[in-house]
Structure formats: C-alpha cells, structure tokens
Chains A and B, each alone.
Chain A
Amino acid sequence: MTSYLRYLAGRALLWLVTIVVAVTVVFVVPRLVPGDPMDAMLQRLAAAGGAINAPELIAQYREMFGLDRSISEQYVSFLRELARGNFGYSINNFPSNVTDIVIPAIPWTIGLLSVTTIFSWTLGSLIGAIVGWRGGRSRFFQALVPIALVLYTTPYYILALILIFLFAFTWRIFPLSGGAFSVGVRPELTLKFALDVLHHAALPALSIILVSLGWWFLSMRSLITTQKGEDYILLAEAKGLPERRILWSYAFRNAMLPQATGLALSLGHIVGGALITEVIFAYQGLGWVIYNAIKSLDFPVIQGSVLLLIIAVTTTNFLIDLAYPLIDPRIRQAGRE
C-alpha cells in the first residue's frame, strides 16, 4: 500500500506545483506590461470609449490588491484574495464580481465537456476495438479509418462551422445560436426546458463528439492491433477460447490502459478546443464568458476564468492519476522509485 501512497504523494506534489505556477503566471503576466496594471487596463478602456465608475474602480482595486505596495506584498494579497475566492471585480459589469459572472457559466461548460468526452471516449474505444480486431475482414470497417482520420485532424470549431452551415442554415433542423436555450426562456427544471437545452446543445456537442470519436477510434484501433500480435493472445487462441472472450477480456483490457492515459493527456487540448466551439455557438459556457471578456477587455474576468480553468483541468488530471494505479498494478510498483 505504501507504494500507492508514494505515487499519490508524487502526483499531489505535481498538482500543487502546477497550480502554483499557474497562479504565479496569471499574477506576473499582466504586471509585465509597463506601468500599473490598473492603468494599463483603464488606458485601453479609455481608448475604446471610456469606463463608468473608473475612479472608484481604481481605488477599490488599489485597496484590495495593495497595488501601492511592493511586489511581494502584492503577491501575498493576491494569494490571500484568491484563497477567499475573490477574483476581483469585473470591469465591464462593475460592480459585479468576477465570480458572479463566471460561476453561472461553469455548469454549462462542465455539462457539455463531460458528456461529450465520456461518450466519445467510450464509443470510440468500443468501435475502435471491434475494428482493430476484425480489421481487414470487412470493407466497411476499413472505410471507417480514413473517415476517422479526416475527422480527427479537423479542429472542433471548424467542424462546428460546417455543421452550422449544413444543419442550421441550409436545413433548419437545429437553431443557429442563442446559446444553450432559446432567447427569453428562463432556466428551470422542467422537461420542456431540458428538451430545449438538448435541441440547442446538439450541434456543439456533435462537433466535439465527431472529432473526438475520430481520435479515440484511431488510437484504440492501433492499440488493439498491437495487442493482437502479443504472445498471450496466441496462447488464448490455442487454448480454444471464443474470439469474443479473447477480445473483450484480454486484449481490450490491456489496451484500455494507454487509452486512459491518452484521455488524461489530451484533457488540456479538449478543453481548449471546446472553449472556441462554445464561442461559435454563443453557448453560455466559460468559453463564451472569456470571449466576451476579451472583446470588452475585461481583464479580471479573463484572468479569473483562466485561473479557474487551469485549476479544474489540473485537478481532473490529478483525479485520473489517482484512479490509474487501481486499474494498472504496474504503476503501483513504479511508485516505489
């Protein structure tokens, strides 16, 4: 058990270091802009047409983050405010908190991402396993490979554009945009609302699912193909085990391990792509919030959401790392290093 704990400790340390580095980067980068960070922000705003309540905003910030003190003291107060969950005020929607703007968007993003990722990962793995195993015997299966190739190399948002054009513009099956639900509808826990959400979220989800399917399919297929050449498969066949059993109980289980690692490694990439896809559909997730903040130069919101995203992804990575030794006993031994 101790090797597992040692592995845990190593991963927890990585988690901590990543968060510290991220926080520091988010702190340092705006301050690399010459001049007071607040001045830089407000200068841009003034150039773009002015900000309401500017003097009060500056005064509040100066006080909260101690911008008139030394850098190290600023860092400390920055951390302190973060620990309290205070990301500051939104410039655009002053006096709203950054948290007030960001928090409502999070469930939408998490919902979209988790559903699409889990769905495409499982489906892709299953189909990939079947095609990898049955491989050259069926023309249909072989035709899937180049399709998956084209799908996988397309970014989510590019596919999204094509899907919008086809399904929302040319054939009006799905709505063009308007976020996760129709304009003017209040979010409530009814079936009608849920259906509305599904109707609106179908295209964004589809863009992510199709592309991800391509990748998980291809990767699983090559993993299974590698497994097919292993000796223990030969032994199982010699023992006379039914083919279905060999595939699912032997090859599939061994191929799942690298597939799970692949999931953990590509989380960052998936999140990034999904953010942009949200923008195209005006889906009110975190991506949409960030996009609007960029357009209106609302730096506290940008920084707050960036930080939140990094913490979320890192934590998810950590959780997957935690679960990993439970599936693969070899990792437990590696923790002894």
Chain B
Amino acid sequence: MLGISVVLLLVLLGLVGTLLTSPEMRRTGAYPVRLPPGQGTLLGTDSLGRNIAIQLSEAILKSLQVGLLAAALGTFFGALIGFASGYFGKLVDAVLRVLIDVFLSVPSLVFLILIASLVKGVGVQAIALIIGMFAWASPARQSRAQVLSLKERGFVQIARLSGMSGLEIVFLELMPNMFQWLGANFVNAFLAAVLAEAGLSLLGLGPQRDMTLGMMIYWALSYGAILQNLWWWWLLPVLTLMCLFLSLYLIHLGLDEVSNPRLAAQA
C-alpha cells in the first residue's frame, strides 16, 4: 500500500545518496557552514560544515539497519519462545508466561538507558542488539496465543492421528500458518526499534560513531540548531522520521487487513 511505497522511496534515497558520494564529501568541514537549503547545496549544511542531504541519506540507511536487525532478533526469538511456551505447556509455559509478562510490563526504554549508558560509544550493530534484547516480549505473547489456538484446531489433531511426529507437526503444519501474522509482528517490532533508537540517540546514548536519524537530531540539538534558526538541520530528520513511522504504521494496518479479513470488510 501507500506505506510500502514510502518506505521503499526512503530506502532508495538512502542508497542513492550513499552510493553517489565519496568519503571526502562526508568529512567535517567539507562544505561551508550553516548554509540554508538552496544556496548551492541541496538541503543545506550544518554547523560543522557537513552536507545535510548526504547526512540524511546515510542516516536513513543506518536507522533502517538498526530497526531491521533489532526487529529480526526480537521477532525471531520472541516467536520461538512464545512457540515453545504454547506448544510444550505445563511448567515451561508457566515459567515463560511470567517472564513474558514481566518484560512486557516494564518500561523497556528505561532498561535500555541503563544498558546503553554502560556501553557508550558503540556502533549501530551493538545498539540494534541491545534494542533487540527487549523486543522479544510482544511477539512472544502473540506467538504463544497463536500456537495455543492452532494446537486445538482440527488439522493438528488429524496430523497427530496419522502418526506424524511432533517435529513434523511443528514445521509442516503449524509454522506455515504463523508466517502471515509473523510479518505484522515484524513490522511492529521494526517501528518500535526505530523509535527506541531515536529516543536513545536523543539522550546521547546512540551510536556515536555512525549517523542515524536520531543522531542527526541529537547533533542538531547539541549545537543549538533551533535557537540559531538552522531549521533545516533538525526539521529534515524530524520529517523523515515522521514519514518513516507513518509509513510503517500504514504497512502494519495493511498487513492487519490481510490477516484479519473481518477488518478488511469493515474498511
């Protein structure tokens, strides 16, 4: 839908930007400082003489990278844990269920702050890892609910009666049914991860070495961009971030419609 096209557009911009520029152009001081957009550069420059457009393209890719990695980790492990909890039941389920509830109810940003403050100055991958560590709870709960409902449905019992082993049932019968909803969960986790990364970066806990959308805003604020009326420095990453969030949410809505035909009928 609309969401997918916007996201793809952003990715394209990011790719084009990073591939067409050379490292020289990215160095601090490569351009005159504080140029508003239009005077020779496409989107202006910041206080350190870096081209905003170039920064933006790099930042888009890095932010997406963080989101992708963290969401993949979170959804994968979450689905696995939720699956184990739902399928094996009894004690495993009881223990895992409490764990899931604990991680769901805690403000994850707070934990993230704690961990990130101890490992300051890391790269994009590490941040993604840390965010992924807390992204598993929601997929886990949903996965568990799915498994529980699927377990009792007819085709599982038939498979069992026809002598399929437990593992066979898992992979051949249950998994394919969960893929659809897994996609929606992934998009959700993606959104949350980009959000978390932006938040952490604003606080100064982001990947200092790389440029992500959140870090761009952080640098803009640190150098007082709002007060100096360098609106292009902070507004552009802000708008990009908003577009990203909106489009991801639209994708999420779209996927919801696909997996839940009742909603599609209502729309």
A residues bordering B, Cβ < 8 Å? 14, 17-18, 21-22, 25-26, 29-30, 33, 149-150, 152-155, 157-158, 161-162, 164-165, 169, 176, 225, 265, 267-269, 271-273, 275-276, 279-280, 290-291, 294-295, 297, 299, 302-303, 306, 309-310, 313-314, 317
* Chain B min CB distance to A299 (Å): 7
B113 at the binding interface (Cβ < 8 Å)? yes
Q: Please indicate the chain B residues that have their CB under 8 angstroms from the CB of A152 in the complex.
A: 249
Report how far A317 CA is from B266 CA in the complex, Å: 33
Closest residue to A40 on the B side, CB-wise?
Answer: B118
- What number of A-B contacts does a CB cutoff of 8 Å give? 126
- Separation of A30 and B116 alpha carbons in the complex (Å): 11
B contact residues around A161 at 8 Å (CB): 217, 226, 234, 238
Residues of B within 8 A of A29 (CB): 114-115, 118
B158 on the interface (CB 8 Å rule)? no
- Which of B28-36, B46-54, B68-76, B194-202 contacts the other chain? B194-202
Bound together, the chains give a CA A17 to CA B238 distance in angstroms of 39
The answer to whether B195 and A310 touch across the interface, beta carbons within 8 angstroms, is no
Q: A153-B246, A272-B109 are in contact. List 18 more A-B contacts (CB 8 A).
A: A14-B102, A22-B106, A149-B246, A150-B246, A153-B242, A153-B249, A155-B245, A161-B226, A225-B266, A272-B107, A275-B113, A276-B109, A279-B202, A280-B202, A294-B205, A297-B120, A303-B114, A310-B111
Q: Give chain A residues whose Cβ lies under 8 Å from the Cβ of B175.
A: none
Give B residues with C-beta under 8 Å from A. 98, 101-102, 104-111, 113-115, 117-118, 120, 195, 198-199, 202-205, 217, 221, 226-227, 229, 231, 234-235, 238, 241-242, 245-246, 248-249, 266
A30 x B203 contact (CB < 8 A):
no
26 interchain pairs (CB within 8 A)?
A17-B102, A29-B114, A153-B242, A155-B195, A158-B238, A161-B234, A162-B238, A165-B226, A165-B231, A267-B105, A267-B107, A268-B107, A269-B109, A271-B107, A273-B109, A279-B202, A294-B204, A294-B205, A295-B204, A299-B118, A302-B113, A302-B114, A309-B107, A310-B107, A310-B111, A313-B105
